[in-house]
Amino acid sequence: MNPFEKTIIFEKLKENYFYAVKSGTEYLKVDSPKKGDNVYEIPIVSGGSENNTESPKKPLLLQIPIPLCEKHQHDGTPFGVQTCKNWNYIAIPTLLGSLSCRECLNELYLPEPFLRNANLIDANLRNANLSGANLIDANLIGADLIGANLSGANLIDADLSGANLIGANLIGANLIDADLSGANLIDANLIGANLIGANLIDADLRNADLRNANLSGANLIGANLSGANLIDANLSGANLIDADLSNANLRNAKYNSITLKHINELWKKQLIQSGVNID
């Protein structure tokens, strides 16, 4: 039986199941449903031990296409997976193609969602837990990632143009050559993030935390970095034409050569005095 065909009237928690409600086209996990609630009862097919730390917010249950062999197709029926970290997801069985069966490899339970090349245009991923996710080449144009946890995520070549990342956790994320043009990164945490060659044209990085971030070769034309924390950041070869650096903290920032035309003359003077080679 497909657990997503209809809801049940909740009576009591069952071992090896988790519960969800539907909001629009999305599923939200419910840690402690009340007796009489209409919920989806989702069997856990694979998984590790979950830390049952409850959250005041209902976490989004990602629906992730999973490559599976014929033996593990589950009749094409979506099923729930509990990972070895504190989150669950809905697996959508898909034919293997050139990929290996994740159930044969015993990789279903791993905490990293596999979303390489995924089409997530305008997706609602607000507060989603995507820590450590493989999002290489993913299409996240216009996605809502407010408050999302993307710490340690692999976003190489991902398209996040116009995405909303207000307050998102991107600590240690790999954003090499990612497109973040026009993205909203206000108050985002990018400590230690790798942004080499990233496109940040017109991105809003007000009050973002970019300590120890690597922005070498990044394109920051027209970016708003006012109030940003750039302590120990690497800005070598970055293009900061028309960027707003008002009240930004650039203490111990590293830069060999940066392009800083049309910026505040006071900032330019201070940078030249500190030995920056401005193109």
Tens digit of each residue's pLDDT (9 = 90 or more) over 30-53:
888 999 999 988 876 644 444 444
Instruction: Report the candidate in 222, 214, 216, 163 with the shortest Cα–Cα distance to residue 193.
Output: 214
On average, the pLDDT of the chain sits at: 81
Sign of the alpha-carbon dihedral angle for 173, 126, 223, 187: negative
Instruction: Tell me the per-residue pLDDT of 126-163, one tens digit each, with 9 for 90 and over.
Output: 888 788 888 899 999 999 999 999 999 999 999 999 99
Range of the domain at 20: 1-111
pLDDT confidence of residue 77? 83
In this structure, the answer to whether residues 149 and 62 fall within a common structural domain is no
Contact 265, 244 (CB under 8 A): no
pLDDT at 97 > cutoff 80: no
pLDDT confidence of residue 87? 61
Residue 54's pLDDT band (boundaries 50, 70, 90)? very low
Last residue of a domain, one of 111, 129, 154: 111
CB atoms under 10 Å from CB of 19, counted, come to 23
Last residue of a domain, one of 91, 111, 131: 111
In this structure, the answer to whether residues 33 and 83 fall within a common structural domain is yes
Contact 253, 276 (CB under 8 A): no
The answer to whether the pTM exceeds 0.75 is no
How far is 198 from 235, CA to CA, in rounded Å?
12
Of 29-33, 51-55, 254-258, 275-279, where does mean pLDDT reach its minimum? 51-55
CA distances for 88 relative to 72, 79, 213, 225, angstroms:
19, 11, 30, 36
Share of the chain above pLDDT 70, in %: 77
Give me the CATH number covering residue 154: 2.160.20.80
Question: Strand 38-47 and strand 79-82: pairing?
Answer: parallel
Contact 214, 196 (CB under 8 A): yes
